[in-house]
Structure 1
Amino acid sequence: MTTTTYAQTWDLDVFFEGGSNSEQFHTYLKDIESELESFRSLVTELSVPKAASEKDGLTAVINAFQAVARKIRQSGAFVSCLQAQDMNDKKATMLYGNIMQLNASLQTILTGFDQKLVSIEKSIWDELLSEDPFAELAYVLEERRTRAKDKLSPEQETLINSLGIDGYHAWGQLYNTVVGNIKIPFEENGEVKELSAGQAFNKFSSSDRDTRKKMFESWTTVWEEQADYISSSLNHLGGFRLNVYKARGWEDIHKEPLDINRMSKETLDTMWTVITENKAPFVEYLDRKAKVLGIEKLSWYDLDAPIGKSESKISYQEGCEFILDQFSKFGKELTDFTRKSFEDRWIEAEDRAGKRPGGFCTSFPESDQSRIFMTYSGTPSNVSTLAHELGHAFHQHAMKGVHTLNRSYAMNVAETASTFAEMIVADASVKHAKTDEERLALLEDKVQRSVAFYMNIHARFIFETAFYEERKNGIVSAERLNELMEKAQKEAYCDSLDEYHPQFWASKMHFYLTQVPFYNFPYTFGYLFSLGIYAQAIEEGTDYEEKYIALLKDTASMTVEALAEKHLGVDLTKRDFWEKAVKLSIKDVEEFLELTK
């Protein structure tokens, strides 16, 4: 039996041959410009229906909307992949600016479209939503209409979109440019190498504490050197948002991220309260891990350290085959989809210089494909990350056949699918470990992830909330940002570490993404929500895949509270669900403590 060898570089030529020099892609962008003008004309000429029977114009607008939105998403995905694989690709950076311009034009047109929706009389609106072709889009159309009422006039919103290109979004691009030029010096085997941020970060998973400590010193020095540039980016991103919120009359800085995530404040507050009240076992885990590593107290750079003296390297091929094996125990569709992703080169995993740090999954809706980006260096954590991103890709695959406007699911439920896939692999790894030492290492990697969601992400949320409150009163200095970050980390980690990472605000890309503010709490939501789904899946076995896909299909057409009620029969505003989910992860901690007693 021959095994297919899986490539570690992705295939982008299948979309547009030639990368950032692709003539085909430039033609594609020109076509989008033409389609945007046609869409603009349709919206401008759209007469507000005076009766439910007058729906042809509205139908034409929605058809044009979904067509041009798919093309912009396709082009944006392509350029994001070009930028990630080579941060020195200056043409890709210029193309990203073009995509931002196209997207801003789309948002401007949609502002006018939303105002037309607002103008439809309530009784006629309700009747329209009860009929085809609008019935299946009832939630997203009602959502657009409601949000439009909550904003400024079309002229003012158009101005905000226009100014955002060279203002708001430009500050996000500046951060990417700064990080792209960062080289982190690191001495290894007597030779000083210059590592990209992504390569450097992987050193924190080394089993050698001197390696981790040396990297942390070099890491923090480099981010401190760039702090003035990066703090300017963060301050102006925050300032732009706050000014827009003030103009709209929005007082709560969490309003926009909660609206985007289709989630209530009550749900968010309940989730964090339950987590905060259940951190004691995780503090005990951190203390025990320090003892196992032979140190008094963990420092920030010890959090990802593996347990044990030897580093077990897992080749990319072995990692792929292991994931396939574990997915096969859940369901056929997930397994077949994953194999296709490997065989058709949907994944960029090569460990090389010049790549962007971190990992992501992006969809190409025109091609019904996805692409996954990461840097694979052979750690168990890398295998988990690969499974995580494959979960994202499967979510996009599950949405095939769903109307384009019903595919825009929010980040919190997107993280549900990815974390679910990651848990299948992590849980199975622990259960099928061949030795106690291997079991402990895999279990510890699993607990590390719980700590990340309950403590690291919580620190980001606390920091970002504090930053926006201070930013209301003016520019926040880099030194003050360091103070706010360290304070947030101490609170989130219950002051259980010896040394923290004050420059984390500079090194974490998520604070600089302009598409979604507060790119943090949805991760924790997704983790806990997926724990609830995973518990049901364990009970029902392979028969659960069909139900799981049905849940994924609904993720963009209802609130998360409604989704949980429909598919899990739970109320997310109550403590019960969150407590059960947290207790599932505490079981891993208890097992870890028992094994290391």
Structure 2
Amino acid sequence: MHRTAVFDTVEAAAGGSGLGDLPVWDLTDLYPAPDAPEIEADLTWLESECAAFAKEYEGNLSRLDAEGMLGAIRRQERIDAVAGRIMSYAGLRYYQVTTDAERAAFLSDCQDKLTAHTAPLVFFGLEVNRLEDGHLDRLFNQNADLARYRPVFDKLRKMRPYQLSDELEKFLHDQSVVGASAWNKLFDETISGLEFEVDGEVMGIEATLNLLSEQDRSVREKAARALGETLSANVKTFARVHNTLAKEKEVEDRWRKMPSPQTGRHLSNDVEPEVVEALRNAVVAAYPRLSHRYYELKRKWLGLDRMQVWDRNAPLPMEDDRKIGWTEARETVLSAYATFSPQLAELAEPFFDKGWIDAGVTPGKAPGAFAHPTVTDAHPYVLLNYLGKPRDVMTLAHELGHGVHQRLAAAQGEMLSSTPLTLAETASVFGEMLTFRKLLSEAETPAQRKVLLAGKVEDMINTVVRQIAFYDFECKLHDARREGELTPDEISALWMSVQGESLGPAFDFMDDYQTFWAYIPHFVHSPFYVYAYAFGDGLVNALYAAYESGTPEFQEKYFDMLKAGGSKHHRELLAPFGLDASDPAFWDKGLSMIEAMIDELEALED
């Protein structure tokens, strides 16, 4: 891996005992340094190109022939690529050390400049939406290269009923840097700066959350209480962030005449509201058969009369608590990928060898994990907070799935490579499933099999049940905010209203647990994002069942699906596998796979 001056302010992540050397990002594939002349040159080009683009095309789109429209689209793609490269570099540097003032300022400056430079482009989508359908159809029929971009136009035109005047759209564009993005940064900086004291040791949120899966119950309890105490002490700030963002969204939705707070997310996901509603209803109806039943089993395994919230992710008593080193994690995931297809492993390997992963837990680093696609003429980057737990190996498999998906879809170009969130989880969850199935096939004893099955069921409950409960919380939050300002206690009450329902009667809830909504980043960054996880899990369960049943040419069809990126609707992508997400029975099939695993766990008790 190349190490450069970019990382001088980032402590090398040794990973601690037993993990080995953990990789750090090499961002020089994007830019050599934050003060590199290439960044300034790209910003200068963007400013002049956006102005030239507007001068040539504003007010003239209806007069373009097919060749002219294709030229405009390709110029827009180039603008997107340059802007995306700058923001990817600035954002990735920031997420390495969110508490670093210089990195935060650099990101803000880049956002401000790009917002200003790209303001002249706002007209494009507005004018496209004023074109007659017949006119566009004629252009597509005249030029096959232009017709390839039809999905871009279709997605734009779905916003037609909710489009504001040109002047208002430009205002919203300019105002965005002091709107949602500013509150997002406040949230990120606040979360990353929080300190939690456990047994005299002060740590960040990621390390504290990690203690909730420790074998020692007293450690889990102390971590949970530390989380609750600190979140409660800061809950007014988080309530202000949520109130402001929910109100801002309500105002914009009202002006756009959006029928519901969720409409914007459904449109961006290219999914019908009734499909999401069918998913949500199927999962909620399955709570007793899934989470309630599983946690009652776990309560017995742990020898408890009642489960507490700090027991939810507890390891089983017979579980091996050894840490899994980085080299072993790498080999586990790559071999699982290779078992499905050598090509899948080959696509994942550069992430380890070329500085595309940042794995260690370091001060100020963003919590959680993600795969960022950057731009199609570069490559994705994966962020982890690797601590050597089995779940961390599954997270590695998950994020590498995203990365592989993003690499395959890159050939579609900037406008067509981005996959809707509902389908963006496909390769990631499938990668997890491949890794799990490989480990399960290698289990040597019933106890090992039980631990693996329980871990997978918990992951699926966290992905399906917990995320749908999150979705219901968001729906309640945005509905309530329409009626007025919400106090921290009122937000907490909405949170608790979905917790007992989803987790089941095995649990008691400690004081301060009602504030745990405060640390969930998706509520802030991407309202209603969370149902995409459940969508992806259900979709992958159905896909994996098709794979196991011997669907002809499954691997070839799977790669074709990933390569499509955002160029096809979920109906087209699933058709080759004989699947249809608009069929309510589709979701029951996916949930039945989780249920079957719980059945097996119950059978192992006999």
Name 2:52's counterpart in structure 1.
Answer: 38
The whole-number CA distance in structure 1 between the counterparts of 2:515 and 2:56 is 49
Instruction: Tell me the equivalent position of 1:573.
Output: 582
Q: Which residue of 1 aligns with 2:26?
A: 11
Tell me the SS of whatever aligns to 2:107: helix
Aligned to 1:287: 296
Note if contact 1:256-1:517 (Cα within 8 Å) is conserved in structure 2. no
Change (3 A) 1:111 1:28: closer
Distance 1:294 1:21 in 2: 58
Q: Distance in 2 between matches of 1:308 and 1:22?
A: 53
- Residues in 1 aligned to 2:265 and 2:550: alpha-carbon distance in whole angstroms: 34
Whether 2:66 is the aligned partner of 1:55: answer yes
Letter in 2 for 1:61: A
Distance change in 2, residues 1:140/1:200 (3 Å): same
* Aligned match of 1:117: 128
CA distance in 2, matches of 1:558, 1:333: 23
Q: CA-to-partner distance for each residue in 1:85-122, whole Å, 9 max, x for gaps? A: 11222222122223433554576444311222233333
Find the aligned partners of 2:270 and 2:542 in 1 and give their Cα distance: 19
Deviations 1:105-161 (A, max 9, x none): 576444311222233333221111222321111121122133134211111111122
Does the CA contact (< 8 Å) of 2:50 and 2:121 recur in 1?
no
User: Conserved in 2, the CA contact under 8 Å of 1:8 and 1:316?
Assistant: no
Which of these residues, 284, 292, 305, is aligned with residue 314 of structure 2? Answer: 305
SS in 2 for 1:277: helix
Residue 576 of structure 1: how far off its partner (Å): 1.8
Report matched runs for 1:436-515 at 5 Å.
436-499=446-509, 501-513=513-525
Deviations 1:436-471 (A, max 9, x none): 332222211101112112321122111110111110
Change (3 A) 1:301 1:21: farther
Aligned amino acid, residue 74 of structure 1: R
Partner residue of 1:340? Answer: 350
Q: Counterpart of 2:195?
A: 183
Q: Deviations over 1:556-593 (max 9, x none)?
A: 123323433x3333332222211111111211111222
| Distance in 2 between residues matched to 1:47 and 1:538, nearest whole Å | 50
What does 1:233-252 correspond to in 2, within 5 Å? 233-252=241-260
The structure-2 alpha-carbon separation of the partners of 1:30 and 1:437, relative to structure 1 and needing over 3 Å to count, comes to farther
Partner deviation per Cα, 1:509-537 (whole Å, 9 max, x = no partner): 11110xx3212101100111111112222
Of 426-435 and 461-470, the range deviating more from structure 2: 426-435
Are 1:533 and 2:543 an aligned pair? yes
Deviation at 1:484, TM superposition (A): 0.8
Matched, 1:377 2:392: no
8 A contact 1:300–1:499 mirrored in 2: yes
Q: Aligned residue for 1:434?
A: 444
Q: Deviations over 1:400-442 (max 9, x none)?
A: 3213211121111111121111111112212211333322222
TM-score, normalization by structure 1:
0.93
Kept in 2, the 8 Å contact 1:74–1:363? The answer is no
Residues 307-335 of structure 1: CA deviation (Å, up to 9, x unaligned): 12541211111111111111111111111
Question: Match for 2:49: what amino acid?
Answer: E
Q: How far does the alpha carbon of each residue in 1:236-292 deviate from its partner, in whole angstroms, 9 at most, with x for none? A: 111111000111112311111111111111111111222222222321110110111
1:133 pairs with 2:145: yes
Please state whether the residue corresponding to 2:28 is helix, strand or coil. Answer: coil
Give how far 1:366 is off: 4.9
Q: 1:299 to 1:107 in 2, by over 3 A?
A: farther
Shift of 1:7: 4.4
SS in 2 for 1:361: strand
Contact persistence 1:347–1:372 (CA under 8 A): yes
Structure 2 contact 465–534 (Cα < 8 Å) conserved: no
Paired residue for 2:326? 316
**Alpha-carbon distance in structure 1 between the residues aligned to 2:158 and 2:116:** 21
Residue 496 to residue 21, structure 1, CA distance change in 2 (3 Å): farther
Question: What are the residue-to-residue correspondences of 1:540-555 with 2, within 5 Å?
Answer: 540=550, 543-555=553-565
CA displacement 1:35-70 (0-9 Å, x = unmatched): 3333333332634227xxx23432222111101111
Report the more deviating stretch, 219-228 or 274-283: 274-283
Distance in structure 2 (CA, Å) of the matches to 1:145 and 1:107: 20
The corresponding residue for 2:366 is 356
Secondary structure of 1:185's aligned partner: strand
Aligned residue runs from structure 1 range 184-223, under 5 A: 184-187=196-199, 192-223=200-231
* SS of structure 2 residue aligned to 1:372: strand
Contact 1:199-1:352 within 8 A present in 2 as well: no
- The number of equivalent residue pairs is 582
The aligned counterpart of 1:87 is 98
Give the letter for the 1:209 counterpart.
R
User: With structure 2 as the length reference, what TM-score do the two structures score?
Assistant: 0.91
Residue 164 (structure 1) shift:
2.0
CA distance 1:242–1:198, change in 2 (3 Å): same
Match of 2:573 in 1: 563
For the pair 1:418 / 2:417, whether they are aligned, the reply is: no
Identity %: 22
Match of 1:161 among 173, 177, 185: 173
Structure 1's 41 and 504: CA in aligned 2 closer, same or farther, altered over 3 A?
farther
Against the structure 1 CA distance between its residues 49 and 146, is the aligned structure 2 distance closer, same or farther, given a 3 Å change threshold?
farther
Q: Could you list the runs of 5+ residues in structure 2 that have no partner in the other structure?
A: 1-19
Aligned partners of 1:115, 1:149: CA distance in 2, in Å? 11
Three-state SS of the structure 1 residue aligned to 2:412 is: coil
**Which secondary structure state, in structure 2, belongs to the residue aligned with residue 503 of structure 1?**
helix
Q: Who is 2:236 aligned against?
A: 228
What's the CA shift string for 1:289-309, capped at 9, x where partnerless? 011111122222211111125
* More moved, 251-260 vs 21-30: 21-30
Structure 1 residues 549 and 107, CA, compared in 2 at 3 Å: closer, same or farther?
farther
Q: Which whole-Å CA distance do the structure 2 matches of 1:337 and 1:541 have between them?
A: 23
Question: Within 5 A, what are the aligned runs for 1:134-153?
Answer: 134-153=146-165
SS in 2 for 1:48: helix
- Please report the RMSD computed on the Cα atoms of aligned residues, expressed in angstroms: 2.1
Q: Give the letter for the 2:167 counterpart.
A: E
- Pair 1:7–1:379, CA change in 2 (3 A): closer
Q: Unaligned regions of 5+ residues in structure 1, if any? A: none
Distance in structure 1 (CA, Å) of the matches to 2:44 and 2:502:
48
**1:270 matched residue in structure 2:** 278
Alignment-mate amino acid for residue 348 of structure 1: D
SS at match of 2:219: helix
SS class of match (1:194): strand
Q: Is the 8 A contact 1:235 1:471 kept in 2?
A: yes
Alignment partner of 1:64 out of 75, 81, 100:
75
Q: Which residue of 2 aligns with 1:25?
A: 39
CA distance in 1, matches of 2:204, 2:57: 46
Mapped partners of 2:90, 2:416: distance in 1: 24
